């Protein structure tokens, strides 16, 4: 039989004619291009959450071909631990009537990597309004979430470290407080038996004793005095650490403080054959801001060390020079063996004597540590350096301040109306409650220019209250740090008595913190003048206060 199909091979089916090209509407072509090339991942699912359309961006993002994704539920591509929740969420969204909120899941790429995708869903509805599926836009937020997590971890770690640091600080403060309290109590407890030891030893010393026994008593006294000095220095350090040591900064004349210290140390220098040289007298007007008593204490410590650790027949020289930032450097130079550079970090450590205990030189190892802390409380500093030739130089720096007396004279001359009292300025009384003699002397210099004013001074708070009740002054000048009570308690005492409650009070104190000033102002203080004193302002305030209503003030002082 002859085939009617030419050119066909026996047993082979004839070739099918080629399909005619399908021409899609123009809007459909545009949609497909937009769908495939969209910069965000996009897919559509049926009502069961099975993928029926996925764009090229999502395929490239996850690494799958479209045919590998279509026909599978969305949650197949989510991390295993999130699949159940993802399926439950999609089914719930299909039934939701309200607007859908974004969700977020970890998707697994074909290569095993993870992506965090933020999914924005909207429902696909039929013409009748029934839900037929869901379309979703997926945004890659992996980098953002990782950055947020790193930041959260960093914040959490910082918070943890902050809490740990605060706890460590509290524990350290608690331990330090316990140590200070222990040392303070022990020091006080040691004073009681030490008082008896030194007392009876002194009685024995003045009695009739043979030379051997007198020498033994002398050794007891020497050891007792050494122990007393140690107790005093321990107490000073514990007060500083506990914040209970108060200072009263003022303008202190350097040469006066140095001369007083030299007078006290002359016998010690004579015993060691040491020559003392004072090079500070060339300018007697230099003043530093310091607590006079504490400055002298530091000078005594530095100069005593320079004497004790000097070479036999050596020299100790005290001088000063200007330092940066309007400060004065006071130097104590010796001609001893000097200090090893490797000992620099230990020189100001409490109880550290750098082997001097082996030399027989007396000491506690607390003097330099105490001096450093006292100077820091006064806004100063201390350090040392070895001399190029021999020995070393310890130096301290403190802020320079103007000479108060020269400042007073300048104020009297420059400020109009302050040099001559007005006609109403007669028979005024000013009470100054202050425990520092230098401060009292300064106010006395000022009051000299006001012959109509009488100055009363009290170095204790309770005595000041008694004088105020007895004399009913026109003005009270009040320091805050007094030996027997605080200035605030004195102020309360003045305000509690009818005879003294209306007396104007001006506080003159180095404690010029904002909170303290506000508190005292609320207690009725007329003004608050910080130390060192601005003399021009003080003169204005003094005159304006004393030139008030004479009738009221004189009436206050009339006896009942």
Residue 54 has pLDDT above 90, yes or no: yes
Contacts of 104 (CB under 8 A, 6+ apart): 116, 117, 118, 119, 141
Q: Tell me how far apart the alpha carbons of residues 121 and 111 are, in angstroms, rounded to a whole number.
A: 26
% of the chain exceeding 90 in pLDDT: 29
pLDDT in tens, 401-460: 888 777 776 666 665 554 444 444 458 899 999 988 778 888 888 888 788 889 999 999
Q: What is the mean pLDDT of residues 476-497?
A: 89
Side-chain-side CA neighbours of residue 110 (13 Å)? 11
SS (H, E, C) 361-416: CCCCCCHHHHHHHHHHHCCCEEEEEECCCCCEEEEEEEEEECCHHHHHHHHHHHCC
- Identify the residue with better confidence: 95 or 29: 95
**What is the side-by-side order of every strand in the sheet holding 453-458?**
453-458, 428-433, 475-478, 505-509, 527-530
Contact 316, 310 (CB under 8 A): yes
Where exactly does CATH 1.10.287.130 map onto the chain?
Answer: 156-241
Residue 184 has pLDDT above 70, yes or no: no
Residue 18 has pLDDT above 70, yes or no: no
Q: Reply yes or no on domain 26-140 having CATH 2.40.30.10.
A: no
What share of residues in the chain are helix, strand, coil (percent, to 5)?
A: 45, 20, 35
Q: Tell me how far apart the alpha carbons of residues 117 and 57 are, in angstroms, rounded to a whole number.
A: 13
Tokens at residue 407, please?
């400042």
Residue 276 has pLDDT above 70, yes or no: yes
Where exactly does CATH 3.40.50.2300 map onto the chain?
Answer: 404-557
Phi-psi region of 174 (alpha: psi -120 to 50; beta: other; left: phi over 0): alpha
Contacts of 434 (CB under 8 A, 6+ apart): 440, 443, 457, 458, 459, 477, 478, 479, 482, 508
* 512: helix, strand or coil: coil
Identify which of 275, 368, 374, 382 has the alpha carbon closest to the alpha carbon of residue 327.
382
Residues in the chain: 560
Tell me what pLDDT residue 425 has: 45
Quickly state the pLDDT bin for 200 (edges 50, 70, 90): confident
Residue owning tokens 């303290």: 516
Tell me what pLDDT residue 411 has: 66
Tell me what pLDDT residue 328 has: 94
Side-chain-side CA neighbours of residue 471 (13 Å)? 21
Question: Which has the minimum average pLDDT: 29-33, 203-207, 501-505?
Answer: 29-33
Contacts of 58 (CB under 8 A, 6+ apart): 41, 42, 43, 69, 138
Where exactly does CATH 3.30.565.10 map onto the chain?
Answer: 250-401
Tell me what pLDDT residue 26 has: 55
Q: What is the mean pLDDT of residues 483-501?
A: 89
Residue owning tokens 């994704």: 69
Contacts of 42 (CB under 8 A, 6+ apart): 35, 54, 55, 57, 58, 135, 136, 137, 138
Residue 384 has pLDDT above 60, yes or no: yes
The DSSP bridge pattern shows strands 131-140 and 250-253 to be unpaired
Tell me what pLDDT residue 464 has: 92
The DSSP bridge pattern shows strands 275-278 and 315-323 to be parallel
Side-chain-side CA neighbours of residue 259 (13 Å)? 9
* 41: helix, strand or coil: strand
Q: Tell me how far apart the alpha carbons of residues 74 and 135 are, in angstroms, rounded to a whole number.
A: 11
Q: Tell me how far apart the alpha carbons of residues 274 and 524 are, in angstroms, rounded to a whole number.
A: 56
The rounded radius of gyration (Å) of the Cα atoms in the chain is 45
Q: Is the dihedral of CA 94, 97, 100, 105 positive or negative?
A: negative
**Exposed / middle / buried, residue 463 (Cβ in 10 Å: 0-12, 13-18, 19+):** middle
Tell me what pLDDT residue 395 has: 93
Q: Tell me how far apart the alpha carbons of residues 394 and 380 are, in angstroms, rounded to a whole number.
A: 14
Q: Tell me how far apart the alpha carbons of residues 90 and 254 are, in angstroms, rounded to a whole number.
A: 86
Which of the given ranges, 106-110, 148-152, 248-252, 551-555, has the highest pLDDT on average?
Answer: 106-110
Phi-psi region of 294 (alpha: psi -120 to 50; beta: other; left: phi over 0): alpha
Residue owning tokens 């210099």: 445
Tell me what pLDDT residue 173 has: 72
Contact 228, 362 (CB under 8 A): no
Q: Tell me how far apart the alpha carbons of residues 263 and 281 are, in angstroms, rounded to a whole number.
A: 14
Alpha helix stretches (DSSP H) within 244-317: 254-271, 292-308
The architecture CATH gives domain 156-241: Orthogonal Bundle (1.10)
Residue 358 has pLDDT above 50, yes or no: no
The architecture CATH gives domain 404-557: 3-Layer(aba) Sandwich (3.40)
Classify domain 250-401 at the CATH topology level. Heat Shock Protein 90 (3.30.565)
Contacts of 430 (CB under 8 A, 6+ apart): 443, 447, 453, 454, 455, 456, 473, 474, 475, 476, 477, 542, 546
Identify which of 331, 346, 276 has the alpha carbon closest to the alpha carbon of residue 298.
331
Q: Tell me how far apart the alpha carbons of residues 28 and 43 are, in angstroms, rounded to a whole number.
A: 17
Q: Tell me how far apart the alpha carbons of residues 544 and 527 are, in angstroms, rounded to a whole number.
A: 12
Contact 531, 248 (CB under 8 A): yes
* 427: helix, strand or coil: coil
pLDDT in tens, 65-101: 999 999 999 999 999 999 999 999 998 888 876 678 8
Tokens at residue 491, please?
């102020």
Tell me what pLDDT residue 7 has: 44
Where exactly does CATH 3.30.450.20 map onto the chain?
Answer: 26-140
pTM above 0.85, yes or no: no
Start-to-end CA distance of the chain, whole Å, equals: 159
% of the chain exceeding 70 in pLDDT: 78
Identify which of 86, 91, 139, 87 has the alpha carbon closest to the alpha carbon of residue 116.
139
Q: Tell me how far apart the alpha carbons of residues 434 and 510 are, in angstroms, rounded to a whole number.
A: 12
Mean pLDDT (the chain, rounded): 80
Identify which of 174, 182, 90 has the alpha carbon closest to the alpha carbon of residue 136.
90
Residue 554 has pLDDT above 50, yes or no: no
Q: Which helix (H) or strand (E) holds 493?
A: helix 487-496
Identify which of 31, 34, 48 has the alpha carbon closest to the alpha carbon of residue 91.
48
């Amino acid at each position: 039989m002859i085939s009617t199909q030419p050119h066909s091979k026996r047993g082979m089916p004839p070739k099918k004619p080629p399909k005619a090209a399908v021409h899609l509407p123009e809007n459909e072509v545009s949609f497909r291009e937009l769908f495939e090339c969209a910069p965000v991942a996009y897919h559509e699912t049926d009502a069961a959450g099975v993928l029926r359309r996925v764009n090229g961006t999502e395929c490239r993002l996850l690494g799958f071909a479209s045919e590998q994704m279509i026909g599978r539920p969305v949650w197949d591509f989510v991390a295993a631990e999130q699949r159940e929740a993802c399926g439950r969420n999609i089914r719930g969204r299909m039934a939701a009537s309200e607007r859908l909120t974004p969700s977020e899941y970890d998707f697994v790429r074909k290569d095993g990597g993870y992506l965090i995708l933020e999914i924005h869903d909207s429902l696909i509805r039929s013409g009748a309004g029934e839900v037929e599926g869901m379309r979703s836009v997926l945004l890659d937020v992996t980098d953002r979430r990782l950055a947020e997590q790193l930041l959260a971890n960093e914040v959490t770690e910082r918070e943890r470290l902050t809490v740990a640091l605060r706890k460590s600080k509290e524990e350290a403060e608690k331990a330090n407080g316990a140590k200070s309290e222990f040392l303070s109590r022990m020091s006080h407890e040691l004073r009681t038996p030490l008082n008896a030891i030194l007392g009876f030893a002194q009685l024995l010393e003045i009695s009739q004793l043979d030379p051997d026994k007198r020498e033994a008593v002398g050794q007891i006294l020497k050891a007792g005095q050494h122990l007393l000095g140690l107790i005093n220095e321990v107490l000073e350090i514990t007060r500083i650490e506990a914040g209970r040591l108060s200072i009263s900064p003022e303008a202190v004349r350097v040469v006066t403080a140095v001369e007083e210290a030299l007078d006290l140390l002359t016998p010690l220098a004579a015993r060691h054959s040491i020559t003392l040289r004072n090079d500070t007298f060339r300018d007697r007007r230099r003043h530093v801001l310091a607590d006079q008593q504490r400055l002298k204490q530091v000078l005594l410590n530095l100069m005593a060390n320079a004497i004790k650790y000097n070479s036999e027949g050596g020299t100790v020289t005290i001088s000063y020079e200007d330092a940066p930032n309007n400060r004065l450097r006071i130097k104590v130079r010796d001609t001893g063996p000097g200090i090893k550079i490797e000992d620099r970090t230990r020189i100001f450590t409490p109880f550290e004597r750098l082997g001097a205990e082996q030399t027989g030189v007396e000491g506690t190892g607390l003097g330099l540590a105490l001096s450093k802390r006292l100077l820091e409380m006064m806004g100063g500093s201390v350090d040392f350096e070895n001399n190029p030739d021999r020995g070393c130089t310890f130096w301290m720096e403190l802020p320079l301040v103007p000479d108060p007396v020269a400042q007073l004279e300048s104020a009297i001359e420059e400020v109009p109306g302050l040099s001559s009292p007005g006609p109403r300025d007669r028979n005024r009384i000013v009470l100054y409650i202050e425990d520092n003699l230098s401060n009292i002397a300064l106010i006395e210099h000022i009051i000299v220019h006001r012959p109509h004013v009488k100055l009363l001074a009290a170095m204790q708070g309770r005595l000041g209250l008694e004088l105020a009740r007895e004399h009913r002054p026109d003005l009270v000048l009040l320091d805050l740090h007094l030996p027997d009570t605080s200035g605030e308690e004195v102020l309360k005492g003045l305000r509690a008595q009818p005879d003294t409650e209306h007396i104007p009070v001006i506080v003159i104190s180095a404690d010029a913190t904002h909170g303290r000033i506000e508190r005292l102002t609320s207690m009725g203080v007329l003004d608050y003048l910080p130390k060192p004193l601005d003399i021009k302002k003080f003169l204005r305030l003094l005159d304006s206060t004393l030139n008030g209503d004479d009738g009221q003030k004189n009436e206050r002082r009339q006896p009942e």
